Amino acid sequence: MTEKIVRFLDEVRPATPCLVVDLDVVGENYDRLTEALPDSRVFYAVKANPAPEILRLLVARGSCFDTASVPEIQACLDAGATPDRISYGNTIKKAADVRRAFELGVRLYAFDSEAELDKIALNAPGSRVFCRILTSGEGADWPLSRKFGCDVAMARELLLAAAKKDVVPYGVSFHVGSQQRDVGQWDLALAQTATLFRELEEQGVVLRMVNLGGGFPTRYRKDVPTSAQYGEAIDAALRRHFGNRIPETIVEPGRGMVGNAGIIRSEVVLISRKSANDDRRWVFLDIGKFGGLAETMDEAIQYPIVTERGGDAEPVILAGPTCDSADVLYEKSDYRLPVDLRIGDKVDILATGAYTTTYSAVNFNGFAPLAAYYI
Amino acid sequence: MTEKIVRFLDEVRPATPCLVVDLDVVGENYDRLTEALPDSRVFYAVKANPAPEILRLLVARGSCFDTASVPEIQACLDAGATPDRISYGNTIKKAADVRRAFELGVRLYAFDSEAELDKIALNAPGSRVFCRILTSGEGADWPLSRKFGCDVAMARELLLAAAKKDVVPYGVSFHVGSQQRDVGQWDLALAQTATLFRELEEQGVVLRMVNLGGGFPTRYRKDVPTSAQYGEAIDAALRRHFGNRIPETIVEPGRGMVGNAGIIRSEVVLISRKSANDDRRWVFLDIGKFGGLAETMDEAIQYPIVTERGGDAEPVILAGPTCDSADVLYEKSDYRLPVDLRIGDKVDILATGAYTTTYSAVNFNGFAPLAAYYI
C-alpha cells in the first residue's frame, strides 16, 4: 500500500470494488529484476496484467514482451514495442494466429510438439523457435499441471527436427511454476537444459538461448526471497551447468513484475453467522472468485487483507457477493479480521496487481468486470 | 444438438468458439416444468443465462424471475417483466442495491441473517421476505458450500424478528444443490420447512410460501430424472409434510431451463503427447476454463463432447488454449475422442446453455469473451 495509492483512494474515493496500481512500483520491480539478472533480457508476461499504462511504462524501460495471443501482441505494438521485442510464448496457437503474428513482425515462437513446430515452419518461416520442457513445479503455490512442455528426450528430437525445417532452433524454455518460493528449482531445470544443449551440439545443432520462464513471486502472506536472491541462485546454476559457455538468457516475470503494485479496494456487504453458536463469522465482500480473485481457487494464492479497524481480530470465512456457492475465498487458511468490523467498511486486498482484472468474469450474476486505475 | 442448431452452424459457420442456443428448447423446458409442477410458480434463475432473447421468451411464457443483482433486475424489466414478477434472491446485497431494487418496484427479497433483514426493512419497507435455510446438498454435482442459508433454529428467530419489523415474513427457501440428481433431497428439506411453518404458526406468524429453489439438472454424461419425476417427488413430499395445507410454492430453475438448449462449437488447436511413450494424447481446444467452461472446475460438470469423426476412440486429456496451467478441462474423467481427430476439426460441447457466457473471463490471455447466438 504505497502513499500514492492511499492518496488516490482518499481523494478520488472510487466506487468499489476496484483495483489501483501504482506504476512506480512496476518500474521499481523492473529495475530490481534487471539489476538482479543483468545478463538476462526481460520478457514481461503480458497476461499478468495487459493494461496499456503498464505496457507503455515497460516499453520505455526497455522491456521485451511474452505474449499469449494475437490481441496481446497487438497491445504490445500499440504500446510502442517493436515486433523484435515480442515473443509468442503460448505453445497452443491456431495456424491463422501464427500467420497473423508473423505478418505483424513477430519472429520468436514457443513450441512443445511436432504439430506446433510444423505450424510455425509453415506460417512463420525462418523464425526462431524454442522448445519448452516439462519441469516438476515443486515449491510453487499456483498449480503447475503437465499442460505445457514435453519431456527432454522429446525436446531433443523436436529440436533436431526443427533444424531440418524452415525455422531456427534457437533455445529451450521451462517454467518452474508460478509463485515459486524455492530458488533452487531453477538449478534442476538448468541441469537438464545444459545436458540437452550438449547433446544437440554433438549432433550439430547449436542452441543460443535459455528461457528461464517466470515464477518470480510476489510477497503475499508468506515471505519470499528477494530478486537479488533469485538472481544469485540462477547465476550460480548457470555457471555450474554451462561453465564458461553461458548462453543468452531471458526471463518472463508476470506476477513478480506487477503483483505487489496493486491493491483491490472492496467493501463489506454482509457479516453473518449460520447459527446462534457458529464459531466463525462469515464476511461477504463486494468482490469474489468471479470478480477478479480467481487465484483464490483452492485457496492457492493468499492475499494479505487489511481494514481500517484496529483492535482484536477473530477468525472469519471470507466470501464473494455472487449467488454461487463456489464463490468462497478463504475458509481453511486462518484469515482473521477485527471483531468490530462492520458492514460498509472498506477492506483492502493487497498484492493484487497480477492475474485479477483479466480473470474477472464478463458479467456473472450481472456484476461488471473489475474496474482498474493505473496511477 | 437440435436440427435448428445444426442448420445454423452449417449455414452461418460462425467463428469459434461460440455458444448457440435453440430458444425452442428453452420454451419446451419451461412448458415441461410447469406441467410437472402445475401448482408452482417458476422464477427463472437469471444468472444461468441472462441473454435478452431468453428473458423475453420467458416473459411471454408467463415466467417470473429470480435475480442476483440490480443489473439482472434491470435486464428483466427491459425484457418486459413487471416488478411483481421479480425476486431479489441474493442473500448478500448492498443497502444501496436494496434501495434501488425497491425503487424499481421489487417487493420480494431473500435473507438469511439479521443484518440483511434490517437492510431490507430499512430500504424496502413493507416488502415480503423469505429466509433461506441450510441444507446438506448431498447428491449434487456442483459443490454446495455453507455460504447460503442459516440453520433452522436461527431461521425461526429471524422470521419472528421479521414480524416485528416493517416487512412481511412470507416464507422459507432452500436449495438442494445445483445439478441435483437425487429427487429425494427435496423431501428432507421440506420436512424441516414444514416443522418450521408449524412452530412459527404457534407463535402467531403464518408463512405463505415455500421457495423450492433450483437444482433441476441438465442431462450431461449421466442420465438424470425427468421433470415429471421431480414433480411427482416434490408433490409427494409436500403432501407428506404439509398434509392438506400445502403452501404456495415457487421454483428457481436455471440450469434445468437453459442447460440443454445450447451447444458450444469449438475447434481443435493442437493435439500432442508429452513424451514418445505418453499413453494419452492432449487435445487442446480454443475454449477452456477461462473462456466459459468454469464449471469444469474439479471436473464437476462433465459436458458430453462430440466430433464429426467416427471410428475408434481413445482416452485423451482435454485442455483450453490459455497459458495457464490450471486451464485443463478433463484429465481424470475418462474422456475419449476419435483416434483420427485432427487439428482444425470442429468439436461440439453439448448442454452448455447455462453458466457459460457470463462465467467467461473478460480478457484473459487476450481472448475475447464467449460469443453467443440465440436462434
Q: Please give chain B's pLDDT, 375 residues, in tens.
A: 899 999 999 999 999 999 999 999 999 999 999 999 999 999 999 999 999 999 999 999 999 999 999 999 999 999 999 999 999 999 999 999 999 999 999 999 999 999 999 999 999 999 999 999 998 666 677 656 789 999 999 999 999 999 999 999 999 999 988 888 888 888 989 999 999 999 999 999 999 999 999 888 888 988 888 889 989 999 999 999 999 999 999 999 999 999 999 999 999 999 999 999 999 999 999 999 999 999 999 999 999 999 999 889 999 999 999 999 899 999 999 999 999 999 999 999 999 999 999 999 999 999 999 999 999
Residue A135 has pLDDT above 70, yes or no: yes
Interaxial angle between packed helices A114-123 and A95-103, expressed in degrees from 0 to 180 and rounded to the nearest 10: 40
> Which residue has better confidence, A136 or A234?
A234
DSSP string, A233-301: HHHHHHHHHHTT-PPEEEE--SHHHHGGGEEEEEEEEEEE-SSTT-SSEEEEES--TTTT-GGGGGG-S
Residue-wise burial string across A337-362, b where 16 or more C-beta atoms lie within 10 A, e elsewhere: bbeebebebebbbbbbbbbbbbbbbb
Per the structure block, which three cell numbers stand in for B349? 460441447
Q: Which of the 8 DSSP states describes residue A323?
A: S
Assigned CATH for A23-259: 3.20.20.10
pLDDT tens figures, A167-220: 999 999 999 888 888 888 889 899 999 999 999 999 999 999 999 998 888 899
Would you place residue A236 in the very low, low, confident or very high pLDDT band (cuts 50, 70, 90)?
A: very high
Residues of chain B with Cβ-Cβ distance to A91 below 8 Å are 270
- The segment(s) of chain B belonging to CATH 2.40.37.10 are 260-374
Question: Which residues of chain B have a CB within 8 Å of the CB of A93?
Answer: 269-270
Set of chain A residues whose Cβ sits within 8 Å of the Cβ of B358: 361-365
For residue A1 the three cell numbers come to 500500500
Q: Which residues are paired to B98 by β-bridges? A: none
Which residue of A113, A266, A273, A324 to mutate against B (max B Cβ within 10 Å)? Answer: A324
In which residue ranges of chain A is CATH 3.20.20.10 found? 23-259
Q: Of B223, B220, B243, B224, give the one whose Cα is nearest residue B185.
A: B224
What pLDDT is stored for residue A143 in this prediction? 56
- DSSP structure class, residue B84: G
Residues forming CATH 3.20.20.10 domain(s) in chain B: 24-257
CB contact under 8 A, A92 and B359: no
Strand B305-307 with B313-319, pairing? unpaired
Question: Which phi and psi (to 5°) does residue B6 adopt?
Answer: -60, -45
The alpha-carbon gap from B168 to the nearest alpha carbon of chain A, in Å, equals: 21
Average pLDDT for chain A: 95
Can you give the pLDDT at residue A102?
Answer: 98
- Distance (Å) from the C-alpha of residue B31 to the closest C-alpha of chain A? 25
Whole-angstrom Cα distance, residue B33 to residue B231?
8
Active site residue A131: no
Three state DSSP letters for A43-77: EEEHHHCCCHHHHHHHHHHCCEEEECCHHHHHHHH
CA angle A59, A348, A327 (to 5 degrees): 95
Higher pLDDT, B154 or A224: B154
| Least CB–CB distance from A361: residue in B91, B148, B360 | B360
Partners of residue B297 in chain A, C-beta under 8 Å: 297, 326
* Chain B residues within 8 A of A47 when measuring between CB atoms: 322-324, 364-366
Pick the residue from chain A with its C-alpha nearest to B360.
A361
The shortest C-alpha distance from A99 to chain B (Å) reads: 14
Measured CA to CA, the distance from residue A374 to residue A345 in angstroms comes to 23
Complex-level ipTM: 0.94
Cross-chain residue pair A274–B47, CB shorter than 8 Å: no
The number of C-beta contacts closer than 8 angstroms across A and B is 215
Please report where in the chains the cell 494475437 appears, as a residue.
A70
Short-list A68, A219, A195, A191, CA closest to A135: A191
Distances (CA, A) of A68 to A222, B222, B360: 29, 35, 17
Measured in angstroms, the CA of B45 and the nearest CA of chain A are apart by: 10
Check A273 against B150: CB less than 8 A apart.
yes
A22-31, A112-121, A178-187, B160-169: range with lowest mean pLDDT: A178-187
pLDDT at B216: 85
Which grid cell sits at A337? 479480521
Residue given cell 534457437 in the structure block: A170
d(CA B269, CA B320): 9
Give the contacts of B202 (CB within 8 A, at least 6 positions apart). none
Q: Is the pLDDT of residue A144 over 70?
A: no
Chain A residues in contact with B89 (beta carbon < 8 A): 323
The C-alpha cell that represents B368 in the structure block: 475475447
Among A153, A162, A159, A187, residue whose Cα is nearest residue A172: A159
pLDDT value at A252 more than 90: yes
Exposed, middle or buried by CB within 10 Å (0-12, 13-18, 19+), for A281?
middle
Using CA coordinates, name the residue in chain B closest to A95.
B269
Do the strands B305-307 and B262-272 form a parallel or antiparallel pair, or are they unpaired? Answer: unpaired
Is there a contact between A359 and B290 if contact means CB atoms under 8 Å apart?
Answer: yes
Spatial distance between the Cα atoms of A213 and A89, rounded to a whole number of angstroms: 10
Question: Chain A: residue nearest B143 by CA?
Answer: A326
pLDDT value at residue B143: 56
Q: Which three cell numbers stand for residue B340?
A: 483420427
Output the pLDDT for position A82. Answer: 98
Cβ(B302)–Cβ(B179) below 8 Å:
no
Higher pLDDT, A113 or B140: A113
Collapse the DSSP code of B344 into the 3-class scheme (helix H, G, I; strand E, B; otherwise coil) and give the result: coil
Helices (DSSP H) in chain B: which residue ranges?
3-12, 23-36, 52-61, 70-78, 95-103, 114-123, 152-163, 185-202, 227-242, 255-258
Residues paired with residue A168 on neighbouring β-strands, in sequence order: A128
Neighbours of B357 (CB within 10 A): 26
Contact B216, B230 (CB under 8 A): yes
Alpha-carbon gap, residue A1 to B358, rounded angstroms:
32
The fraction of chain A above a pLDDT of 70, given in percent, is: 98
Among 3.90.1310.10, 3.40.630.30, 3.20.20.10, 1.10.10.10, what is the CATH number of B24-257? 3.20.20.10
| Partner-chain residue, chosen from A69, A325, A369, that has the shortest CB–CB distance to B143 | A325
- B interface test, pick of A278, A323, A329 with most B CB neighbours within 10 Å: A323
Phi, psi of B221 (to 5 degrees): -85, -25
Closest CA to A265 of A21, A4, A26: A21
Partner residue facing A154 (CB), from B147, B275, B324? B275
Q: B199: helix, coil or strand?
A: helix
**Greatest extent of chain B over all pairs of C-alpha atoms, in Å:** 74
Residue from B61, B63, B117, B80 nearest B251 by CA: B63
CA B276 to chain A, closest CA, distance in angstroms equals: 6
What is the number of other CB atoms lying within 10 angstroms of the CB of residue A5?
21
The dihedrals phi and psi of B86, each to the nearest 5 degrees, come to -120, 130
* Three-class DSSP category at B337: strand
Residue at grid coordinates 436494496: B98
pLDDT reported for residue B350: 98
Instruction: Measure Cα distances from B242 to B153, B186, B245 in Å.
Output: 19, 13, 5
Give percent of chain A above pLDDT 90.
86
Give domain B260-374's CATH number out of 3.40.50.300, 1.10.1370.30, 2.40.37.10, 3.40.640.10: 2.40.37.10
3-state secondary structure of B373: strand
Residues of B with Cβ-Cβ distance to A362 under 8 angstroms: 357-358, 360-362, 369
Torsion, Cα of B326, B328, B331, B333 (10° steps): 110
Query: How high is the pLDDT of residue A142?
Result: 65
Task: Report the C-alpha gap between A119 and B304 in whole angstroms.
Answer: 29
CA distances from A354 to A45, A107, A111 (A): 10, 27, 25
